[in-house]
Every structure is written in structure tokens, then in C-alpha cells.
Amino acid sequence: MRNHPALTAVWPGRPYPLGATWDGQGVNFALFSKHADKVELCLFDDKGRHERQRITLRERTNDVWHCYLPQARPGMAYGYRVHGRYKPEEGHRFNPHKLLVDPYAKDLIGALRWSDAVYGYTVGSKREDLSFDRRDSAAFMPKGRVLETAFTWGDDRRPEVPWQDMVIYEMHVRGFTRTHPDIPEDLRGTYATLACAPVVEYLQRLGVTTVELLPVHAFLNDRHLAEQGLQNYWGYNSLAYFAPEMRYAASGKVKEFKTMVKTLHSAGIEVILDVVYNHTCEGNQLGPTLSMRGVDNASYYIVNADNRRYYDDFTGCGNTVNLEHPRALQLVMDSLRYWADEMHVDGFRFDLASALAREAGKVENLGGFFDAIRQDPTLNRVKLIAEPWDLGHGGYQVGNFPPGWAEWNDRYRDGMRSWWKGDAGMVGDVADRFAGSQDLYGWSGKGPHASINFITAHDGFTLHDLVSYNDKHNEANGEENRDGNNNNLSWNCGAEGPSDRPEVNALREQQKRNYLATLLLSQGVPMLLAGDESGHTQKGNNNVYCQDNELGWLDWTSSPERESLRAFVARLIRIRRRHPSFRRRSFFRGQPIGEGLPKDVVWLKPGGEEMTPADWQDEHVRCLGALISGRGITDIGARGEAQRDDDFLLLLNAYHEPLPFTVPASQGHRWCRLLDTAQEDMHEAPLEDPVYALRGRSLVLLSRTIAKP
């Protein structure tokens, strides 16, 4: 829309849907604000640089201000100015001098340029946020852009991978391909690259079923980072819950994201989004006025009941979105439906999900947010994963989310890390986690797939660094190494950081194989951190949230060690896929499932005897075997057929010395060694000796084929 004259026709329009909606003839604008006195729609030129018209919204229906512009078209840049009381002590922060991004904007043009003008108060004033700033912020703000949502999806279908068959791959859109040698440099780090053949083929070869993308909602670079020359890399700083982050779009168009989803679906790969609905980028009372704060602060955020100038911060980011308010809840629900319906994503991982469940300050696990999702015809069919904690009192809720939800299981992460580094008293916890964490999820009627198992994630050490560093090394973040978690349960295998000692490097590779094999052979849904399969390192930095550079980007350089590890992971995933024993829908019973059948799982000591109650309490136990019966599966197949499998014997030795392990009698069917993490290159081989020479710090998987009825 270049050099267009002012729009002369302004019709009443409708209060629904919220946002800017192109209907093929014109654009409907609708903005919720309960406490506003006046709302102005500001229209800009194509690039969003110059305001060319202001239209007062005279229609107000159920606290929604609206109008319809029959002459408006897709591509129009816009923002709002909202008038009302500036009374922070009452929870109101209206300032019409500040241009606001529509909370429902589906596309943004321009980037925020930090300036004191984007704050509703006068920065540096002795009265702090009780002061009032009259500078116009429009020149520094991104603008919404009216979107044409049409896209040719064709026969696109969700892969609908069953939970128990999933292998999740957590990745960063930009970091995953930023240095990829087989992708044109101008496309690297974008949605488009995730639809490129080299990436799709890599994911297929590896065997992952589901990619989980770090936040792609439009977000801001924090001011303190920008002033240090750093970037908000992870994106947990949302500005607009409907607009994809344009820094990841090579074309600058929303449809690039849709093309990525369609291409991955055609390859049988699901797309899950990491979403941040618990807080926004506007921060605490001293943060900028960019969107919801200026639209209706008292409705969108949880303000402190005793002093409404301040926020109840359950997120550590300055504010918490108030999902007790029906319009804030509507915003989140509308956003989720938009990404599921319009963008075809397959599910969501909710950052600090406990904050979404807070009502009157307490986490209510059967509260309004969960009720809203459960009854929604779209959202009750997509995959829902909670990060089941926040930073507030009572926020740790692992195992307590309602039916239909899976959870990141940090008990799995911590238990397996402690076991393989050799900590005492871990044998019982390791068995519980390996078996799907029935102690956490069984009480509510859930199955093992409620547990999203992980050893590493974006937040923390990579797998390579987990076995290479005892301590974090976050100096590059500019916070004197104070940021990041100090309790990493890591072990450097004898040297801190890079080492030229062959025995240290060999042990590190073996420990990586231990972790990966444990993860991919456990009951539950495994989640891999992108790059762990090839030894990606962040040089000991366990908090690269601000490192949009080689430290955070995956290194695609090839080496024999990296290729070997990738092949090992792909082989593990193939084993998991072929054998239902490792992806059960129901928990082990520890007893026979029928007359004349063996127990579905038997826990063994190195001598071959079954573990006793006293053994489980012995803190010195560092070695454990799990005999898994292929005839002990209660699940049935997709067509109602009985599930049968080979028998498996999994041996885990976290002790630093070798231990002979007596293998159960073969019952006429020979045991075969499938893998031994103490041997980098190995082939399947029949077992000749009834006692297996189990090396120190190693995992072994044996199988025997039982004739199926």
C-alpha cells in the first residue's frame, strides 16, 4: 500500500474475532480493553515507519473496541494508542503516547529499537514508574501487519505419531542450521532450511519422529543484552503470541513457517512448539510499555493484591499473565487454536506451565486453564507437554498435571545423571525412572508416555559438556559466571574441559553412549537435545540463552567420533522402533501377566539372583540388571492383536571396575549381544559364556528370540 490516500470509510465492524482480520473485502479491527477510556487505531506506511492516519474506535461491545475498514488490505501496518488512567498504584498504566502492538497481531514488521521513549514512565525519574513520559514511541516500535492467511495445504495431514512411538528432538530453528555446509548461506538458520532436503533426510536417518522447536513466537532482545552486544537467543521473551518470529524467515513471510510444517509432515515428522504464555517481554513495573501493559495492564497481568503497582512474579521474568481473567485466558486459547488450525502444528510444550494453573496465587491442577483445553475440540486432540514447575511457592508439580498432559520429568534427568556419575543410593530411583516413573504417573491413571524423559535440554549442559566439565563456565554471558545452574550432576571424567589424554576422551565417549542408551531404552517418551548425537559442545556454558553465535549454533564439522556417535543413536532408535518392549503403553507389573508366563520384568543382581527389599536399600549397589519378558506385554496392537517380542536383558554397571554378571539360563534360546557401550564399534554376536564380563561404567543389551504363538 504505497502512497495511499487516507481511508474515508469507517464502519462499525464486529467485536469478534479479536485482532486484524481480512475477510476478502476489508479488514475488521477488534481490541479488548476493559479499563480504557478511548482507543485509537494508527495506520502506517508499508514499512511501518510513518504514521499516516489515526482512527478513533467509537464502537465498544463487551469491552471490545472495534471497527471495519472496507478500504484496508493485507500488508497494512498498524498499532494502537490506548487512553485511560495512568495510576500504577491502582494497576493502570495507560499512556497514549506509546504505540502498542496488537496482542492478536499475526504478523509484525520492523524491530524494536531500544529507547527511553518506549517506557510509559520517565526513565531516571526519582518517582520511577509513578512518573509519566510523554515522548512518542512509534518510531522505535514494531508494528502489526494485516495478514492474508490463505495457504495451499493440499493433502497435509498430521502424522499423529502414537505417544509411545515418539522420539522428540529439541532444536533451535536458527542454531540448528546456521553453519550447515549443505545449505545456501543466505537460507541458514531459517524456517526454510528445516524444509530443505539435507535437514529432512538427516532427521529421517536419525529416526526422530517429532521436532520440538524452541520459541518461535515473535520476541524481543532484552535491553541489557542489546547494550552488551548480545542477543536473546532462546526466545523466552514473547511479544506477540500469534506472529512467528521474522528473524527466522528468509522470505520475511509467514507462509515460510507453513511450508516448513507441511514439508516435515510429508516426511512423517511432527512439529511441536515450545510456547511461553506464562509471562511477556514487558517485565516488571520498570519494564517498557509495548503491548498488553498499555492495552489493559490490570486485566492481562497478575498484579499484587496488596499493592497493585507491582506484579506477582511466578516466572522470574518480572510478570505473570493472568489466566484467571477470561480475556487473558481467551488470548492464550485463541493463540493455541491459531497455531494448531492455521499453522498445522502438532502440539505444544508449555514453558513454566505451573504458572498457567495459578488461581488466587495457588497452582490448581484442575483449574480453568486445564478445563478450557480439555473441552476444546481442537486442543484436546493435539499433544500437550508441561514443564511442570515455576518459580513460585508450590510451583514444583512433577506428576500432578491432569489427564491428557505429559510432563518434562526432571526426576528422570537427575536420577540418571547421578547414577552414571557413580553417586550412592541411586539404584531404586534408576529402576523407577527406567520403568516409566510409575511412582509419579501411575496414581492418576496415566501410562509411561506421561513421562518425557531427557538427560539434557537447551537449558543446561549439552551431553558432551555433561561428561567434560564439573563446573559451569558462563563467563561469555557477561554476568561473572553467576548465571546458570550450579547443580549440574556432571562429571568431567578426569579433566576439566578439552583433554588430549586418550583415556579421558575414551571414557567420555563411553559415558555419552551410556546416557543415550539409557534414554532410548527406557519406558516413556525420550527427548534428545539437538547436537547431542554428534558431540556438540558449548565449552562448558550451561546457559547460552544470550549466545547467538558459534557457542550456541550446532557445529556440523565431521569427525570419526561424531559419525560413530550418530550411528550409535540411529541404531538405538531402530532398536526402540522394532521392539514394543521398549515403548509400552502400560507400566510393568513385576509379576506374570498370565498362568505359566514369566514376570514381565525381573530386577537382577550381578550374581543372577532377583533383587531383594534389602538390596534396594543398599546405597552401595552400583550394578543392576533388568530381565524384560517379551511375553509380558499387556498392550495390544492397532488391530487388536497380541503384542509379543524377544526377551531382553539390560545390564547397567555404574561402578568403575568390571563386574561379572551371571546371565539367566537361555531356556533353549541363545542370548545375543546387541550392544555394549564399552565397545565403540561392535556387531551383534551370540553369547558364548553364561557369565558376561561387564566392563566398568558400561551398559549392555542382550536379547533372545522366543518362538511366538
Please name every residue paired with 272 in a beta bridge, in sequence order, or none if there are none: 212, 347
The parts of the chain modelled with pLDDT lower than 50 are 1-2, 709
Write down the pLDDT at residue 641. Answer: 85
Please name every residue paired with 65 in a beta bridge, in sequence order, or none if there are none: 31, 60
Write down the pLDDT at residue 638. Answer: 82
Write down the pLDDT at residue 683. Answer: 79
The whole-model pTM stands at 0.97
Write down the pLDDT at residue 707. Answer: 57
- What cell was used for 700? 549392555
Catalytic residue, from 282, 387, 414, 676: name it.
387
Catalytic residue, from 129, 351, 548, 676: name it.
351
Write down the pLDDT at residue 1. Answer: 41
407 is catalytic: no
> What phi and psi values does residue 244 have, to the nearest 5 degrees?
-70, 150
State how far the Cα of 294 lies from the Cα of 289, in Å rounded to an integer: 6
Q: In one letter, which amino acid is 20?
A: A
245 is catalytic: no
Q: Are 652 and 518 a contacting pair, CB within 8 Å?
A: yes
Helical segments of 481-611, H only: 502-521, 560-578
Helical segments of 348-497, H only: 368-375, 410-421, 427-434, 438-441, 463-466
> What phi and psi values does residue 532 have, to the nearest 5 degrees?
-65, -30
Write down the pLDDT at residue 427. Answer: 98
Where does residue 494 fall: left (phi above 0), alpha (psi -120 to 50 degrees), or beta otherwise?
left
What element of type H or E holds 201? Answer: helix 197-206
State how far the Cα of 186 lies from the Cα of 182, in Å rounded to an integer: 12
What element of type H or E holds 385? Answer: strand 383-386
CA angle in degrees (0–180, nearest 5) for 701-489-163: 50
